[in-house]
Amino acid sequence: MKTSNILQILVLACILFTACTDNFDEINSNPNAPEGVSANLLTSTVTSEITRTLTQEGYSDGNSITQLMAKNNFPGFAQFDWGDQGMWNFFYGILPEIDDILQISRNEETQNSTYEGIALTLRALCFANLTDLYGNVPYSEALAGDTENIFTPVYDSQEMIYNGVLQDLADADAALAVNQSITGTTGDVIYNGNPTQWRKLANSLRLRYLLRISKQRDVSQEMQAVVSTGNYIQTNADNATLTYSGTSNTDSWPESTGRIGGFDEKSLCDTALEYFNTFNDPRLDIWFDRNSEGNWVGMPIGLNQDNARAFDDANSPSRLDVELFYNSATQAEAYIIKNSEVQFILAEASERGIITGDAAAYYNAGVRASLSYWGVADTVIDSYLAQPAVAYNGSLELLLTQKTIALWNVDYQGWMNYRRTGLPALEPGPDTLNGALYPVRFLYPSSEQTLNTANYQAAVSAMGGDTINVKGWWETGNRY
């Protein structure tokens, strides 16, 4: 339960205790309790909201912090002018619904191993994002409000949370391997309740998170075991994606429902333009439009409001492709993880000797998967891979630069890779508000300081501060 709801809960409790009536049971019925809501309805909510929110975050800010995109208006995020970031409330708001699905899937009357695997996968995804974004966070007691009346949960260490995340994904794999069918409407907007596909997603996330902690821990045996089974995303047909129907604002690509002025605030970053020029990359022409003079112009990252507007007026940087990202409600998709990311994970793991395999083959498969996803023809991809600047030569910088590009719109995963590896190298912009440092975490919400003070202070003490420059557990390992 969200700790920010403590005051509301106390007020509600007082009202209920002082205003009892004969219909007490009716008043106190929880419409979101497992006995009142079906698994398919909850699954529809969580799969759509998680997928859409992660992609919207990637589009709005994830692309900026990896310097693929820059903003000519309201550029404070890229200056690292960070206050409360909204992902905390989102994840802690949706985790209780995931927990309800898990309870329903394990109840004797409604038992279903596929729903159990879906819930475990999504719970792992949410907690992994929380600890990656903030560091130590409530985990073991985070959902204990209803069952144990714990409304000020302790913050657990990142290592402990990762142990839980990886165990959830292993348990999800086992549950989904049962291959139990779901009758009727599944509610699942990603794979329509297909346990085989969800198993691939769970194991792909395992690969992502095992590599993430590989500076701290020997993960070779666990990663190799996943690779050996072959139960992970290996084709674009396996991608964990949501296709918008366009029938309502909720079911449309979010930018398509906004004002054109808001869309025009987003431009090509000059860092990304350098990548695209070096690689002669066809994704440049897919994601961005030339300016009014027919040129490609990138905008520097991290300018303040006045300098950003002045640069925009003087140079007319390239905007995002208007047909793909504004005029269409359905062309752009939302996603959790795609084949391209998985292939780059395996390429890096192979290059570092964590798993066996051909790093070049995995790298080529990652590049091919990304370009193919965006509609590039096979013959063009062949020529692209043959270029000396693109051909794999064992360089982790090349590999991780290509991976960063492929992670376009994938929440903050490119930033996570940078924090772990320092690649590709990123420098703060000229008007940065964080000195020479590139940030590595979000700040805890200010509400935690007042509503969960003791546990907040203990977490800050354990981590070494509550600033955007405090590194987490998996960033500080020394295995490579």
Summarize pLDDT for 78-118 with one digit per residue, the tens: 999 998 867 999 999 999 999 999 999 999 999 999 999 99
Summarize pLDDT for 306-361 with one digit per residue, the tens: 999 999 999 999 999 999 999 999 999 999 999 999 999 999 999 999 999 999 99
Whether residues 261 and 223 fall in one domain: no
115 vs 24, which has greater pLDDT?
115
Establish if 473 belongs to a structural domain.
no
Establish if 298 belongs to a structural domain.
yes
Of 345, 372, 350, 369, whose CA–CA distance to 360 is shortest? 350
C-alpha pair distances (Å), 401 with each of 72, 122, 388, 408, 426: 24, 28, 15, 12, 11
Whether residues 271 and 160 fall in one domain: no
Summarize pLDDT for 358-390 with one digit per residue, the tens: 999 999 999 999 999 999 999 999 999 999 999
Whether residues 188 and 97 fall in one domain: yes
Establish if 53 belongs to a structural domain.
no
pLDDT, average across residues 388-411: 98
Domain that holds residue 258: 254-327
Whether residues 25 and 146 fall in one domain: yes
- End-of-domain residue from the set 327, 351, 372: 327
**Res. 30: pLDDT tops 80:** no
Banded pLDDT at 35 (limits 50, 70, 90): low
Record the pTM: 0.92
Establish if 397 belongs to a structural domain.
no
Whether residues 272 and 211 fall in one domain: no
- End-of-domain residue from the set 327, 349, 383: 327
**CATH classification at residue 457:** 1.25.40.390
**Res. 13: pLDDT tops 70:** no
Establish if 312 belongs to a structural domain.
yes
Establish if 180 belongs to a structural domain.
yes
Whether residues 168 and 222 fall in one domain: yes
Summarize pLDDT for 434-445 with one digit per residue, the tens: 999 999 999 999
Whether residues 210 and 273 fall in one domain: no
Establish if 155 belongs to a structural domain.
yes
Whether residues 155 and 272 fall in one domain: no
Whether residues 89 and 224 fall in one domain: yes
Whether residues 260 and 183 fall in one domain: no
**Proportion of the chain above pLDDT 70, given as a percent:** 92
Report how many domains make up the chain. Answer: 2
